[in-house]
Amino acid sequence: MKHNLNGQLPMQVLAVANNKGGVGKTTTAVSLGGALHQLHGARVLMVDLDPQANLTQNLIGRSTEVEQHVGHAIIDKSLDGIILETESGLHLVPSAIGLAQYESLIPQQKMWRYRLAQTLATVASDYDYVVLDCPPTLQTFTVMALVAADAYLIATEPELFALSGLSTLTELADGVVEGLNSKLRFAGVTVTRYNPKQKNSTHSIVMQALAMQYGEEALLPSIRRDSAIVKSQGQAQTIFQYDPQSNAAQDYAALTTSLITSFTAR
Ligand SMILES: Nc1ncnc2c1ncn2[C@@H]1O[C@H](COP(=O)(O)OP(=O)(O)OP(=O)(O)O)[C@@H](O)[C@H]1O
Ligand SMILES: [Mg+2]
């Protein structure tokens, strides 16, 4: 039987965020979820908070129609009839393009910033981990994600120009800690899609810059560029289903282990 490393901890909610687009947030979310469930036997709920619905496509393919999405769940504060059980074993609160209109609809609700947290609280005994895939903005969904989360993880590219916008995310998170969710902590930063063979790689420069900005302890294992990622996504599989020996699978396994350690150390 698989061992659940989360043991007796209450459900832990992790948000994967970055206001910059295309930096590997969704890939990181689905791969962490895959490792938590497929390697560690945890019960994992994935939540797609992006109207682009990439996480949903990564888990159920492109052709499946989604009728009830996370926007409906947040408005009703209920996940009844919304959670999909995917082939990976991961449970999913899906997104769909229709979620875009909820970006402005949800802030018209009372206490809207707490609504995702309240919605997730209804399934707190059913899951060990919830992984929130944020859109590349700092608007409605990212705000609700930070208010609902125990920890947030930044995924970024190995490019210096990609680091300049990170301070706005950190400022938002600091504001959330002060006013809305004092339990939120920074889980750290992972650099994705780096090429270890590239000469004069910017990876080490980026790592130094991140260490200056966040401290050494915030540097989590990096993820190598790996075509197996793109192929696995084309087949709606996690990297651990598609190729558990691949570089990306090994890197995501290491990242997951360090995150589990930081959750259980608390
Ligand atoms: N380690 C990797 N190796 C190769 N390709 C990768 C890797 N990680 C991510 N990719 C590819 O990079 C692209 C962007 O990744 P992803 O969708 O995870 O980023 P994102 O930050 O979620 O984007 P968005 O801001 O649009 O939501 C995708 O096509 C994905 O397949
Ligand atoms: Mg994404």
Q: What number is the average pLDDT over the span 10-38?
A: 97
Ligand index nearest the alpha carbon of residue 23: 1
Over range 88-108, report the average pLDDT: 97
Helix (H/G/I), strand (E/B), else coil: 170 = helix
Q: Which domain holds residue 53?
A: 16-261
Judge whether residue 71 has pLDDT over 90: yes
Q: End-to-end alpha-carbon separation of the chain, Å?
A: 26
Ligand 1 atom at minimum distance from 223 CA: 1
* Helix, strand, or coil (residue 132): strand
190 CB less than 6 Å from ligand 1?
A: no
Average pLDDT, rounded, for the chain: 94
Per-residue pLDDT of 205-214, as tens digits, reads: 999 999 999 9
154 lines ligand 1 (CB under 6 A): no
Residue 2 in any domain: the answer is no
Q: What is the pLDDT of residue 161?
A: 87
Long-range contacts of 3-10 (CB under 8 A, 24+ apart): 3/40, 3/41, 4/40, 4/41, 4/42, 4/43, 4/128, 5/40, 5/42, 5/260, 5/264, 6/40, 6/42, 6/128, 6/129, 6/260, 6/263, 6/264, 7/264, 9/128, 9/263, 9/264, 10/124
User: Does residue 22's CB lie within 6 angstroms of at least one atom of ligand 1?
Assistant: yes
Residue 10 lies in a domain: no
Task: Kindly report, residue by residue over 221-232, the tens digit of the pLDDT.
Answer: 999 999 999 999
Q: What is the mean pLDDT of residues 158-178?
A: 94
Q: How far is it, in rounded angstroms, from Cα 86 to Cα 109? A: 31
Residue 11 resides in a domain: no
Q: Give whole-number Cα distances, 170 to 79, 164, 213, 250, 258, in Å.
A: 29, 11, 11, 28, 21
For residue 52, the domain's CATH number is: 3.40.50.300
Angle at 9 between CA 115 and CA 73, to 5 degrees: 20
Residue of 20, 23, 26, 50 to mutate, ligand 1, most atoms within 8 A of C-beta: 26
Give the number of domains in the chain.
1
pTM for this model (two decimals): 0.96
CB atoms within 10 A of CB 251: 20
The residue with greater pLDDT, 15 or 201, is 15
- The pLDDT of residue 255 is 98
Strand order in the sheet with 91-93: 84-85, 91-93, 44-48, 129-133, 12-17, 151-156, 185-191
Return d(Cα 207, Cα 261) in angstroms, integer. 21
Question: Measured from the CB, is residue 192 less than 6 Å from ligand 1?
Answer: yes
Q: What percent of the chain has pLDDT over 70?
A: 96
Predicted confidence band of residue 200 (pLDDT cuts 50, 70, 90): low
